[in-house]
Amino acid sequence: MHSLELQKQASDHSDPLSQGNRGDFPGGRRRRRSFAPYVLTFLIMLVLWILLSGKFDVFHLSLGVISCALVSYFSSDLLFPNPDLALGKLIRTWLRFIPYIPWLLYQILRANLHVLYLAFHPRMMELIDPQIIKFKTCLQSDLSRLTFANSITLTPGTITIYVSSDGYFRVHAIDAQSGEGLPGEMERRIAAVFGES
């Protein structure tokens, strides 16, 4: 019996799962998960719900609140993969994203005009020069890389076709001019948005 008790004590000390959900801190204090990602996800989704539904009666607003609360509970880590960030830092990140949107829209407009120029040029087949551009991004987080990949694809003339887990991009460009600025200014602006510059 005595040897069995000693074996059990030894296994309890060696197995972190047997410590009784004490969390990551000394003294058994449980680590608290930040509530900020859930709240911000809920607010973003609720605003989108109201804008897209166009209904402002009690029934539709109540349905929106319930739906957004449930979806936010299960998917808040998609928008905010790091739950330990403070609410203030999350808000600053999204505020920095606001000026990026008009800049991206301007790039999309410029790229549209360039693609139109290629499409209607008499020597279109000579000007179009499809190519694959490969580069490694300095962006670190999954969300910043996702934003970068989608921004490239939204810009006419370029499509993100592959992103590796260690940050290597492959982009298809319709011609040399469309891809010459990659990663460039777009990457720098996204890095500034997510505090990675």
Same domain, 102 and 61: no
Instruction: Give the CATH number for residue 163.
Output: 3.30.70
Domain boundary among 49, 82, 115: 82
In a domain, 39, yes or no: yes
Q: What is the domain extent for residue 70?
A: 2-82
Asked whether residue 78 falls in the same domain as residue 103, the answer is no
- Counting the structural domains of the chain, the total is 2
Is the predicted pLDDT of residue 16 greater than 60, yes or no?
Answer: no
Q: 72 and 105: one domain? A: no
Q: Which whole-number Å values give the CA distances from 145 to 161, 163, 165, in the listed order?
A: 13, 8, 10
Same domain for 168 and 109: yes
The residues pairing with 92 across neighbouring beta strands, listed in sequence order, are none
The model's pLDDT over 139-170, given as tens digits with 9 standing for 90+, comes to 998 889 999 999 999 999 999 999 999 999 99
State whether 110 and 53 are in the same domain.
Answer: no
The band of 84, judged by pLDDT with boundaries at 50, 70 and 90, is low
- 137-171 in b/e form (b: 16+ CB < 10 A) is bebeeebbbebbbebbeebbbbebeebeeeeebeb
Lowest mean pLDDT among 54-58, 68-72, 112-116: 54-58
Establish if 176 belongs to a structural domain. yes
- Same-domain check for residues 179 and 108: yes
Are residues 189 and 106 part of one domain? yes
Per-residue pLDDT at 83: 58
Give the pLDDT band of residue 197 (cuts 50, 70, 90): confident
Mean pLDDT within 126-146: 92
114 and 27 within one domain: no
Could you tell me if 48 and 72 are in contact, meaning their C-beta atoms sit under 8 angstroms apart? no
Question: Do 62 and 121 share a domain, yes or no?
Answer: no
* pTM flag (> 0.75): no
Q: By C-alpha distance, which of 45, 186, 48, 7 is closest to 104?
A: 186
| Of 15 and 36, the one with more pLDDT | 36
Same domain, 67 and 106: no
CA dihedral 178, 184, 185, 189 (to 10 degrees): 120
> What separation in angstroms does the CA of 11 have from each of 2, 15, 45?
14, 6, 47
Taking the mean position of all CA atoms in its chain, how far away is CA 148? 9
Confidence of residue 7 (pLDDT cuts 50, 70, 90): very low
Mean pLDDT (whole number) for 173-196: 91
In this predicted structure, the answer to whether residue 10 has a pLDDT above a threshold of 60 is no
| Range 114-140 average pLDDT | 93
- Domain co-membership, 65 together with 111: no
The answer to whether residue 3 scores a pLDDT higher than 60 is no
